[in-house]
Amino acid sequence: MTQPAVTTAESRLRDYGLRVTRQRVAVLTVLEDHPHTDTDTVIRQVREVAGDVSHQAVYDVLRALTASGLVRRIQPAGSVARYEVRVGDNHHHVVCRECGAIADVDCAVGETPCLTASDSGGFVIDQAEVTYWGRCPRCA
């Protein structure tokens, strides 16, 4: 009997030292396929692929994935929390003022120049969040 193929989600969970569960694989797969997804959409899409999964289970998985650093939680002003799997590169976001669409934006110049604050106040800065606002091509 052949072993089932290991999915990218399973491999990534193991790489981050997390147990592989049906709910975690489903949530991570949804986030890999749909960046910047809000919790309600994650719940709906997880249920489509994994059956009956409770709201609390999805919230718990999102919390664990975020705490481990495997997933990043963003919340632009006036928006619900959203989640993405693109982590560790200090990228930013652009948000449409009309429809709320969100897209990734790489750091403006060089390799994380936004981590050099004009005055750090004594803090050791390891991440910056920059949000650009405008109108997406569909709304423009």
Rounded Cα distance between 85 and 72, Å, is 6
Helix (H, G, I), strand (E, B) or coil at 132: strand
Find residue 129's DSSP bridge partners.
none
Bigger pLDDT: 87 vs 6? 87
Residues in the chain: 140
Q: Which fold has domain 88-140?
A: Dna Ligase; domain 1 (3.30.1490)
pLDDT of residue 113: 63
pLDDT per position as a tens digit, 61-75: 999 999 999 999 999
Has 99 been labeled as part of a binding site? yes
Name the pTM for this structure: 0.84
User: Are 136 and 101 in contact, with CB atoms under 8 Å apart?
Assistant: yes
User: Are 131 and 93 in contact, with CB atoms under 8 Å apart?
Assistant: yes
Domain boundaries, the chain: 8-83, 88-140
CATH of 8-83, one of 1.10.10.10, 3.40.50.2300, 3.30.43.10, 2.40.33.10: 1.10.10.10
Has 107 been labeled as part of a binding site? no
Cα–Cα nearest to 112, from 134, 89, 131, 78 = 89
Has 136 been labeled as part of a binding site? yes
In order, the DSSP letters of 47-112 are: HHHHSS--HHHHHHHHHHHHHHTSSEEE--TTS--EEES--SS--EEEEETTT--EEEE--SSSSS
pLDDT per position as a tens digit, 78-110: 889 999 999 988 788 999 999 999 999 987 655
Has 111 been labeled as part of a binding site? yes
Is 33 exposed, middle or buried, given 0-12, 13-18 or 19+ CB atoms closer than 10 A?
Answer: exposed
